[in-house]
């Protein structure tokens, strides 16, 4: 129809922003300066997918050895889909946020069943996979399949907040959606994957949270926040609610050179992982804490124990919880009929079980006591 107005985008780039120049300069920098990372060896969608899940809330240098080990054990979607969950969790041990591993395996099984082991290449299909949100979907589609889809993580939100002088709170979902619209307008056809990785690389290496390295920035001339001298004031981010403190008593119960461990429930925090028995307490007196611990083990595992001495304290913080763990050395007195989720194991066999990081810290306390003995 003559005179019909083009459909307006919800968010558009400023008219003065030079899209072609920005993309060209950023990609030229990326081509010459990008880091040599193991997941960049090829564009296999499964390798890209695993790397993106591992990199969520985890530093690149931490991920590297885990990624190499994981890909060796589970080199294909089918290998991951068919592996026992305990083996997958063991390969993930130490990375934290274990729901990522469970969701990854559940999604791999779905890809195996529905798509013949081939990671889907459309936004509609890939978004249905467990644990695959907008960022991960955009990363896989752009890097592996060269689809012009945005991949907006914390690095990209920081870069665009400064680049376009955005004062929106990046902690709000609406801001991520806005930046996705803006990034989509800048992605160059044919190099979507490199462009998204270049944005992330820029945020990780140059446009860092504190003291951004503006003088070495390849897109210095395009940055509106830098032009106004406010780059260190951006992005705006609302404060997260502090994690709730939880006070726990932990029992290291020994019997003939073996130690008591139990498996956590199949759902919830640290689901299916092994731990030393523990109970949440609110009491202050040491003797009362010991009584609560003894009673808990009697009720849960049908064992009688003697609490001997404190081995020390362990702190561990999750996104929503802060564990304050007081660890007690205990002796088994009686009780042999343990429930299915508990067992006594030799100390030197603990490495065959998957423990959360908080309980690895308890193992360090055990080792320190052994060294002193």
Catalytic residues: 52
**Strand locations in the chain, DSSP E?**
244-255, 258-263, 274-275, 278-280, 304-317, 321-334, 342-346
What whole-number distance in Å separates Cα of residue 265 and Cα of residue 272? 6
CA 128 to CA 107: how far, in whole Å? Answer: 9
Q: Compute φ and ψ for 338, nearest 5 degrees.
A: -75, 150
Of 192, 182, 233, residue with least CA distance to 210: 233
Q: Let me know the angle formed at the C-alpha of 196 by 192 and 200, rounded to the nearest 5 degrees.
A: 165
Residues 166, 157: Cα–Cα separation, whole Å: 10
Backbone angles phi, psi at 268, to 5 degrees: 95, -170
**How far apart, in Å, are the Cα atoms of 351 and each of 119, 285, 313, 354?**
33, 34, 22, 7
Kind and range of the H or E element at 175? Answer: helix 173-184
Distance CA 191, CA 187 (A): 8
Of the candidates 164, 280, 162, which has an alpha carbon nearest to the alpha carbon of residue 231?
162
Other CB atoms within a 10 A radius of the CB of residue 282 amount to 9
DSSP readout, 18-39? -HHHHHHHHHHHHHHH----GG
Distance between CA atoms of residues 164 and 65, nearest Å: 36
Angle at 117 between CA 113 and CA 121, to 5 degrees: 105
């Amino acid at each position: 129809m003559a005179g019909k107005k083009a459909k307006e985008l919800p968010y558009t780039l400023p008219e003065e922003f030079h899209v072609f120049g920005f993309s060209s300069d950023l990609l030229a920098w990326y081509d010459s300066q990008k880091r040599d990372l193991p997941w960049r060896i090829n564009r296999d969608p499964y390798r890209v997918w695993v790397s993106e899940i591992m990199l969520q809330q985890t530093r690149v240098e931490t991920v590297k050895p885990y990624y190499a080990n994981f890909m060796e054990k589970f080199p294909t979607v089918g290998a991951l889909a068919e592996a026992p969950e305990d083996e997958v969790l063991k390969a993930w041990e130490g990375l934290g946020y274990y729901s990522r591993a469970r969701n990854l395996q559940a999604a791999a099984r779905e890809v195996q069943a529905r798509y013949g082991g081939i990671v889907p290449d459309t936004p509609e299909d890939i978004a249905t996979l467990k644990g695959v949100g907008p960022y991960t979907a955009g990363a896989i589609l752009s890097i592996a399949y060269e689809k012009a889809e945005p991949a907006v993580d914390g690095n990209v939100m920081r870069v665009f907040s400064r680049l376009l002088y955005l004062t929106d709170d990046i902690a709000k979902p609406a801001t991520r959606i806005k930046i996705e619209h803006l990034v989509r307008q800048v992605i160059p056809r044919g190099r979507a994957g490199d462009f998204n990785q270049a944005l992330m690389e820029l945020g990780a290496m140059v446009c860092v949270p504190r003291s951004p390295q503006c003088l070495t920035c390849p897109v210095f001339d395009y940055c509106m926040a830098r032009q106004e001298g406010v780059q260190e004031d951006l992005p705006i981010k609302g404060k997260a609610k502090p994690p709730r403190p939880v006070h726990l008593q932990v029992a290291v119960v020994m019997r003939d050179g073996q130690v008591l461990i139990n498996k956590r429930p199949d759902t919830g925090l640290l689901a299916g992982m092994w731990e030393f028995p523990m109970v949440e307490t609110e009491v202050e007196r040491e003797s009362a804490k010991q009584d609560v611990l003894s009673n808990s083990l009697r009720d849960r595992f049908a064992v009688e124990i003697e609490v001997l001495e404190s081995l020390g304290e362990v702190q561990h913080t999750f996104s929503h919880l802060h564990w304050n763990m007081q660890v007690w050395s205990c002796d088994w007195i009686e009780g042999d009929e343990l429930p299915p989720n508990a067992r006594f194991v030799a100390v030197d066999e603990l490495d065959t079980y998957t423990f959360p990081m908080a309980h690895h810290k308890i193992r360090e306390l055990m080792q320190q006591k052994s060294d002193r003995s």
